[in-house]
Amino acid sequence: MSRRIEYITGSKFEGTRLTFVADVESPKSGRKAKFDCDCGNTIVANINHVKRLQIKSCGCIVHEMLIRRNVDMFTTHGASGSRLMSIYKNMKSRCYNANHKKYDLYG
């Protein structure tokens, strides 16, 4: 019998968003368990992957990082970002003007 660490339901894995819920039977593909993510999702993951911080969440951390990167592109970084913003602003004002004319027609 191989050495087996018992995890307690409700114990949090340091450095992750995952809380251990229960072991999942998976004789072939390593030891797996059910985890609650801080965001409310429940996932089944390989415990070793979580322990090595290869899995830190249900996937929501990656998702949030992507969103943050996109926001950065539009707000803080460099000339290309601010040029995009001014193009966006021009588009918006053009749009408002168009609406204005329409309003004049119908008003």
Q: Which residues bind Zn ion (CB under 5 A)?
A: 37, 39, 41, 57-58, 60
Of the two residues 39 and 84, which places its CB atom closer to Zn ion in the complex? 39
Helical packing angle, 60-75 and 78-106, nearest 10°: 80
Of the two residues 39 and 91, which places its CB atom closer to Zn ion in the complex? 39
Helical ranges in 6-106 per DSSP H:
47-51, 60-75, 78-106
- In the block, tokens 């996109």 appear at 70
Report the nearest approach of Zn ion to the CB of residue 66 (Å): 14
Of the two residues 27 and 40, which places its CB atom closer to Zn ion in the complex? 40
Residue 100: both structure tokens together? 């204005």
Report the nearest approach of Zn ion to the CB of residue 86 (Å): 36
Are the CB atoms for 35 and 19 separated by under 8 Å?
Answer: yes
Of the two residues 64 and 95, which places its CB atom closer to Zn ion in the complex? 64
**Measured distance CA(78)–CA(28) in Å, rounded:** 50
Report the nearest approach of Zn ion to the CB of residue 22 (Å): 18
Report the nearest approach of Zn ion to the CB of residue 64 (Å): 9
